[in-house]
Chain A
Amino acid sequence: MAEAEKVIRGIKFGILSPEMIRKISVTAIVTPEVYDENGIPVEGGVMDPRLGVIEPGQRCATCGNTLAQCPGHFGHLELAKPIIHVGFVRHVYMLLKTTCHACNRVKIPEKDLERYRELYRKLKDRWPQLANSLVEFVRQKAAKALECPHCGARQYKIILEKPATFIEEGGRGKLYPDVIKQWLSNIPNTDLEVLGLDPEVARPEWMIVNVLPIPPIAVRPSIVLETGMRAEDDLTHKLVDIIRTNEKLKEAINSGAPEIIVEDLWELLQYHVMTYIDNELPGIPPAKRRSGMPLKTLAQRLRGKEGRFRGNLSGKRVDFSARTVISPDPNLDINEVGVPYEVAMTLTVPEYVTPWNLDRMREYVLNGPYRWPGANYVIDPSGRRLDLRYVKDLKALAESLKPGYIVERHLINGDIVLFNRQPSLHKMSIMAHRVRVLPGKTFRLHLAVCPPYNADFDGDEMNLHVPQTLEARAEAEELLLVEKHILSPRYGGPIIGGIQDYISGGYLLTLKSTLLTKEQVADLLATIDYSGEIPEPAILSPIEAWSGKQILSLLLPEDFNFMGETKLSSGNLKCTSEECFWDTFLVVKRGKVLEGVVDKTVIGSQQPKSLMHYLIVEYGDRFGAEFMNKAFKLFLRYIEMVGFTMTLDNVELRDKALAEAWEYVQNSYKEVEKLIELYNSGQLEPVPGRTLAETLEIRILDVLAKARDEGGSMALKYMGLTNSVYVMARTGARGSNLNIIQMAVLLGQQSVRGERIWRGYRGRVLAHFKYGDLSPKARGFVEGSFRKGLTPIEVFFHAAGGREGLVDTAVRTSQSGYMQRRLINALQDLYVGYDLTVRSAYGELVQFKYGEDGVDPRKTSFGKAVDVDRIIVKNVGWRMTP
């Protein structure tokens, strides 16, 4: 029988009425007993067989279905006394405040009430927000009334004692749930409307429960331990507690026990029902298991990161995915990802058999599930799924393959997959790669894509997902492929680009002094499969030699012009024009590198307005990706040819250099002494808004910071220009001058919260110092370097300073993580329409033009839509002298 397709228009939430709970219920639960002495569930207990099938093969006592079919059935428990539902305490409080204790009407004069009701009905559908503020207004107005406008009764103040006790100050005192229930049930429907309640589905007296629904067993299955013991679900435990207390309470009432006993039991029942609903209520001790673990009750199942919403509905575990450690492979393309055979033989892609791929598909089936490239499943035209692990005659199956079959084949080279590294903070955290199946057990990626994923190889793991439909694959390839994300919308510049050895290599190759023999040129060009002409050698005699700049020029488009400072152009090597003695100004005219070297500001990742950036903007993503593939291979090949390494000797400075630095530091010490003397004699001039002691600290910190930077820099001047460590720092490949100073000269002042370290003993950090010693060394100035080593006291100071950094990052990540979550939740449904307006999923206008100007930041130069300077250089740069 064909049924008409039903469409869900919306969901309306309400409160279950006691009648409804009884109607839904298949049995009343009457006893706290769960199993009898034979281990059979007791009828009328919380494991009553009528609540649903537990064991496979059984038939349901209620619906007659087997385990797979039976949906489970609710029971119900009649409570001896009503209980306030914790989830509705706030609503009950509002209702008690806004309605009269005598006549139970909302405390608004009849004619106003009529007006508000009319207005509310009008607003409700069209202006939900306004309706809400009307309700809020009515509530406030009603709560303020000192006298009932209907019956004239004086109104008392209602106090809510957390979590669920209501007190009528000056009136009846503590309001018991049965009194409240009576009160709430007297409020007329028409009065409830203006208070924002829909009495049809949410009568307020239903917020006080006197019948408790008992959820089906399927919701709280018991686990059978290997010892044969039964372990019940937390909810079952809690239900037993409730039933037991309820029995006791019933008994106490029936036997006419003293009021205080009844009241205590009632209170206890209230506690059990509350913690059954939510076991993390503020001010209530959580119900615990025997092991001391708090019970996971209803609210705990839904709430939080692992809860039903965030853990099972917003995000869930998926098939066709893999996760393993990542490692680098400079021989891959930037678009590729290396996938282990093991993974490639587990993940599959469904491919339709056609006359054109029939032979290939037969090959896969013949190879079977254990030989790559094979297949794991075949789906025949009738939809039957054949597991190739259990197909005896693969040959026969391969023969029978014809169009209409679907082969779930292994992952092969060229397949499109999504690759992801957490935390997925921006869109470049998930990109599409082409598969390259490789031996080994790790995923491999090109080093240039480390920055967008923020990946390194100290044990990082990444996830891989295989799109299963043609649409998904096409979409991934067109929108998510790595090369389409070289330019980042974060700052209109390439986020994918040269790092570390690519930069060192580029620098060494393009040095003025780099001359290559014909053999070397051939070697270099062979690594990138270059097949064009070799240019005229730059040096003809005594032997033919080529410059590195010539080699790099082979990869540049013939009409490309570029001029710009390199990272090296600073200090006494500064150059701002073509006339540059130091070769630190890069000039490319008509595709030829005429002068300048390649370093971080030329090919580096996250460097806007660089040569790399303009190559990509002007020649496209495809060209950019291909340029990177080739240039980076070239740079690495060259760095391999000349050798590039770092040793302890690289941070060893000659005595003269250290002496110079040391002298500077000594002078700073004297300056500090002078400041301390001034301070002690009361002659120190305080900084506005600071105490004298604070002023002294600030001044000392200034002097000592300068001591390290200036003194260190003086020593750095003695480093050889070919020193690998120095080369890396200057070209931006890795490390900074500060890092070198700390390795070779001194660590300098250690600080905690921007102050010199002072915490510890009274008036001194360690027992090694005199009381009140303000000298540099007593407050964390470290004279040692990483090469020379640190004294034990210096190690302590360094550890104290270093710890702050660790704490900071830990705090920052958790805070930014939460901020990210809130932002995403707020923005996830917004979209930019074809008219460039930004709208919400409900059609509300958020922006009249995306970003006010409708500009895609990815396609701008640093936020500006048009970069006139670049346009000039691009077109006539070849005859310009900047």
Chain B
Amino acid sequence: MSTRSEKISHKILEHEYVPKHELLSKEEAIKVLKELGVRPEQLPWIRASDPVARLLGAKPGDIVRVIRKSPTAGVSIAYRFVVVG
């Protein structure tokens, strides 16, 4: 239950190894969940304290889309459910 609030640099988003994260709107989130047929907590999780999540302003309960470059698939898309912590 850390309540740290130091500033994190926006530079981390530009780093080669940090994939692109997007915060989904409520409508988008519902659509994604429906397509996958899962409850939000059945998605992989990301902590709200994760540096990228904090920069996005993601709050517990939100869903984040992660767009990765993949050597085999070109681009791969994953979703993460934001949890407390």
A residues with a Cβ closer than 8 A to B are: 126-127, 130, 133, 137, 835, 837, 842-846, 848-849, 851-855, 863
Q: Would A849 and B76 be within 8 Å (CB), given that A127-B41, A843-B38 are in contact?
A: yes
> Are the CB atoms of A845 and B43 closer together than 8 Å?
yes
Inter-chain pairs besides A133-B85, A849-B76, 13 sampled, C-beta below 8 Å:
A126-B41, A130-B83, A842-B42, A844-B42, A845-B42, A848-B76, A849-B73, A851-B72, A852-B72, A852-B76, A853-B73, A853-B76, A854-B73
Query: A790 CA to B38 CA in the complex, in Å?
Result: 70
> Are the CB atoms of A863 and B76 closer together than 8 Å?
no
Q: Which residues of A contact B74 (CB under 8 A)?
A: 853
Q: Does B8 contact A (CB under 8 A)?
A: no
Q: Which residue of A lies closest to B83 (CB)?
A: A130
Q: Which residues of A contact B44 (CB under 8 A)?
A: 845-846
> Are the CB atoms of A852 and B84 closer together than 8 Å?
no
Query: A844 CA to B41 CA in the complex, in Å?
Result: 8
Q: Which residues of A contact B84 (CB under 8 A)?
A: 130
Set A843, A852, A855: member contacting B42, Cβ < 8 A: A843
Interface residues of B in 29-85 (CB under 8 A from A): 36, 38-39, 41-44, 68, 70, 72-74, 76-79, 83-85
> Are the CB atoms of B36 and A845 closer together than 8 Å?
yes
Offer 15 A-B interface pairs, CB within 8 angstroms, sorted by A. A127-B41, A130-B85, A133-B85, A835-B36, A843-B38, A843-B39, A845-B43, A845-B44, A845-B79, A848-B36, A848-B78, A849-B76, A852-B73, A853-B76, A855-B72
Nearest CB in chain A: distance from B23 CB, A: 18
Nearest CB in chain A: distance from B31 CB, A: 15
Q: Which residue of B lies closest to A134 (CB)?
A: B1
B residues with a Cβ closer than 8 A to A are: 1, 36, 38-39, 41-44, 68, 70, 72-74, 76-79, 83-85
Q: Which residues of B contact A837 (CB under 8 A)?
A: 36
The main secondary structure of chain B at its interface with chain A is mixed
Q: Would A853 and B70 be within 8 Å (CB), given that A845-B43, A848-B78 are in contact?
A: yes
Query: A231 CA to B21 CA in the complex, in Å?
Result: 69
Query: A842 CA to B42 CA in the complex, in Å?
Result: 8
Query: A261 CA to B76 CA in the complex, in Å?
Result: 72
Q: Which residue of A lies closest to B66 (CB)?
A: A848
Nearest CB in chain B: distance from A615 CB, A: 26
> Are the CB atoms of A852 and B70 closer together than 8 Å?
yes
Q: Which residues of B contact A852 (CB under 8 A)?
A: 68, 70, 72-73, 76
Counting chain A CB atoms within 10 Å of each CB, the highest count among B44, B68, B72 belongs to B72
Q: Which residue of B lies closest to A128 (CB)?
A: B41
> Are the CB atoms of B77 and A848 closer together than 8 Å?
yes
Query: A844 CA to B77 CA in the complex, in Å?
Result: 16
Q: Which residues of A contact B39 (CB under 8 A)?
A: 843
Nearest CB in chain A: distance from B38 CB, A: 6
Nearest CB in chain B: distance from A840 CB, A: 9
Nearest CB in chain B: distance from A697 CB, A: 40
Query: A853 CA to B44 CA in the complex, in Å?
Result: 18
Query: A863 CA to B70 CA in the complex, in Å?
Result: 13
Q: Which residues of B contact A133 (CB under 8 A)?
A: 85
> Are the CB atoms of A845 and B38 closer together than 8 Å?
yes
Query: A879 CA to B75 CA in the complex, in Å?
Result: 38
> Are the CB atoms of B41 and A863 closer together than 8 Å?
no
Q: Which residues of B contact A842 (CB under 8 A)?
A: 42
Q: Which residues of A contact B85 (CB under 8 A)?
A: 130, 133
Q: Which residue of A lies closest to B38 (CB)?
A: A845
Nearest CB in chain A: distance from B7 CB, A: 26
Q: Which residues of A contact B79 (CB under 8 A)?
A: 845, 848
Q: Which residues of B contact A855 (CB under 8 A)?
A: 72
Q: Which residues of A contact B70 (CB under 8 A)?
A: 852-853
Query: A848 CA to B75 CA in the complex, in Å?
Result: 12
Nearest CB in chain A: distance from B14 CB, A: 23
Query: A137 CA to B84 CA in the complex, in Å?
Result: 14
Q: Which residues of B contact A863 (CB under 8 A)?
A: 72
Q: Which residue of B lies closest to A842 (CB)?
A: B42
Q: Which residues of B contact A854 (CB under 8 A)?
A: 73
Nearest CB in chain A: distance from B21 CB, A: 15
Q: Which residues of B contact A835 (CB under 8 A)?
A: 36
Query: A497 CA to B70 CA in the complex, in Å?
Result: 33
Nearest CB in chain A: distance from B35 CB, A: 9
Q: Which residues of B contact A845 (CB under 8 A)?
A: 36, 38, 42-44, 79
Query: A835 CA to B37 CA in the complex, in Å?
Result: 10
Nearest CB in chain A: distance from B41 CB, A: 7
Nearest CB in chain B: distance from A73 CB, A: 45
Counting chain A CB atoms within 10 Å of each CB, the highest count among B68, B78, B79 belongs to B78
Nearest CB in chain A: distance from B48 CB, A: 12
Closest 7 pairs between A and B when the two form their complex, measured CB to CB: A853-B73, A852-B76, A853-B72, A852-B73, A844-B42, A852-B70, A848-B78
Nearest CB in chain A: distance from B67 CB, A: 11
Q: Which residue of B lies closest to A127 (CB)?
A: B41
Query: A852 CA to B36 CA in the complex, in Å?
Result: 15
Nearest CB in chain B: distance from A319 CB, A: 40
Q: Which residue of A lies closest to B76 (CB)?
A: A852
Query: A133 CA to B42 CA in the complex, in Å?
Result: 18
Q: Which residues of B contact A843 (CB under 8 A)?
A: 38-39, 42
Q: Which residues of B contact A849 (CB under 8 A)?
A: 73, 76
Nearest CB in chain B: distance from A203 CB, A: 29
Nearest CB in chain A: distance from B9 CB, A: 28
Query: A130 CA to B77 CA in the complex, in Å?
Result: 26
Query: A848 CA to B38 CA in the complex, in Å?
Result: 12
Query: A855 CA to B71 CA in the complex, in Å?
Result: 13
Query: A728 CA to B36 CA in the complex, in Å?
Result: 55
Q: Which residue of B lies closest to A123 (CB)?
A: B84
Q: Which residue of A lies closest to B77 (CB)?
A: A848
Q: Which residues of B contact A130 (CB under 8 A)?
A: 83-85
Q: Which residues of A contact B83 (CB under 8 A)?
A: 127, 130
Query: A855 CA to B73 CA in the complex, in Å?
Result: 9
Q: Which residues of B contact A844 (CB under 8 A)?
A: 38, 42-43
Nearest CB in chain B: distance from A284 CB, A: 39
> Are the CB atoms of A137 and B1 closer together than 8 Å?
yes
Query: A842 CA to B70 CA in the complex, in Å?
Result: 27
Query: A875 CA to B68 CA in the complex, in Å?
Result: 36
Q: Which residue of B lies closest to A860 (CB)?
A: B72
Query: A846 CA to B80 CA in the complex, in Å?
Result: 11
Q: Which residue of A lies closest to B72 (CB)?
A: A853
Query: A688 CA to B65 CA in the complex, in Å?
Result: 48
Query: A842 CA to B78 CA in the complex, in Å?
Result: 19
